[in-house]
Amino acid sequence: MHSVLQGLWPGRGSRVRPPTSIGAQGAPRRDLPPSGGTYLKANEASQVSDRYMDIVSTNIDTMSTSNSTVIEAQGLYKSFEEIKAVQDLSFAIPAGKVLGLLGPNGAGKTTAVKMLTTLLPIDQGSASIAGFDVAERPEAVRRVIGLAGQSAAVDEKLTPRENLELFSWLYKIPRKERRARIEGLIDRFDMTEFADRPVAKCSGGQRRRLDVVAALVAQPQALFLDEPTTGLDPRSRSELWDAVQALAAEGTAILLTSQYLEEADRLSDHVIVLDKGREVAAGSPEALKKRMGQDVLEIHVSSEDDRSTAVGAVTESAVMTSVAGSQQLDINVEGGAAQSLQLLRRIDDAGVSIVDFQLRRPTLDDVFLALTGAPTSDSGVTPS
């Protein structure tokens, strides 16, 4: 989060305390205790305002219709020496829609997000946010986006409330709106209990929640959520999902990356599956699941040896997915319950100890395994 906001401020990462009010002559008041940063002088504040006045006054409201494209990528490429992180990635996200970018670790999801949010240069191709070219107008892009990266990026010496105040000030939210907006976010995301506690003393989940909320301070036209619910408990995750759906309903275009298939299934209007930097499938969650075309017999066994034995027992007569090191076997079945019973008898005759089984419809996890050969939790190194 701080990396994006540094582009809004010429100090490039220097800590600045937002003034709480302006005196009669335009000078910031100094009636608050210092926080380790410095106050702005009146002429410095004026220079910053002048610097971005053209951005605020020209084409800042580009979402004149509900069908307008807010986030657009055309033929994006990014390499790190010999590693091709992203290859020929294209998509468009209209206002009020959520795109899920899915794939195993190392597929290029985070690299794509970093290019779209001006944190990495684009090697080839183009991208625009709310009509602003990412390469040519990076400062304008930063003013209309919100970003919650994979790790918390807030000031640990400040409280969550102070962090939100800092972000709102950097985003130039009018002082009259600032307090109400911050209090609304604190209440909406159940942060009251720790809002005035130094971030250094907050739990990992609380820090993660603050990082996501900080991305919402400016009510951005485009919101980028890179695995936003990592570290959140089930209740907080569900609350965040509700908030994402509400933001989309209000017209925000959202790009979501996630390791939770349930999350993508619930939130995404459209999904792109990446593998080794390339798109391997795209469509609505339901359309992708229908591509499987078959029910899935999910079998849990007592050991990895049993799993290997079960694979050998049915491998000639069924298409299956089996993850090394696990005790689960997923078999695609066309014959429904009748074929499932035959397969179960064959596995049982092979001496396998079956702990549990179920016949179910395909999930996005099945789509992942079928398309990429690896589950979403597969280990790997993501280029950065």
* pLDDT bucket at 337, cuts 50 / 70 / 90: confident
66: pLDDT strictly greater than 80? no
Write out pLDDT tens, residues 161-217: 999 999 999 888 998 899 999 999 999 888 999 999 999 999 877 888 898 899 999
Residues 6+ apart with CB under 8 A from 83: 383
* pLDDT > 50? residue 16: no
Residue pLDDT, tens place only, 345-384: 989 999 999 999 888 877 777 777 777 665 544 333 333 3
pLDDT over 70 percentage in the chain? 76
- Which pLDDT value is given to residue 265? 87
Separation of alpha carbons 75 and 231, rounded Å: 33
Average pLDDT, rounded, for the chain: 78
Specify the pLDDT at position 26: 39
For the domain bounded by 69-283, which CATH number is listed?
3.40.50.300
Comparing 168-182, 243-257, 329-343, which segment has the lowest mean pLDDT? 329-343
Give how far Cα 338 sits from Cα of 307, 335, 346, 359, 384, Å. Answer: 22, 6, 13, 11, 49
Would you say domain 294-361 falls under CATH 3.40.50.10860?
A: no
Higher pLDDT, 276 or 65: 276
How far apart CA 41 and CA 13 sit, in angstroms, is 18
DSSP single-letter state for residue 115: H
Any idea where the domains of the chain sit in the sequence? 69-283, 294-361
Report residue 7: phi and psi, to 5°.
-70, -15
> Which residues make Cβ contacts (< 8 Å) with residue 242, sequence separation at least 6?
none
β-strand 98-102 against 253-257: which pairing, if any? parallel
pLDDT at 51: 43
DSSP state for residue 122 in the 8-state scheme? -
Q: What is the pLDDT of residues 44-65, one digit of tens each?
A: 444 444 443 333 333 344 333 3
- % the chain with pLDDT above 90: 41
Summarised one tens digit per residue, pLDDT across range 102-130 is 888 888 999 999 999 999 999 999 999 99
Q: What is the band of 221 on the pLDDT scale with cuts at 50, 70, 90?
A: very high
* Integer Cα distance of 299 and 307 in angstroms: 9
Q: Does 242 or 54 have the greater pLDDT score? A: 242
Residue 34 has pLDDT above 60, yes or no: no
Closest CA to 333 of 348, 321, 349, 350: 321
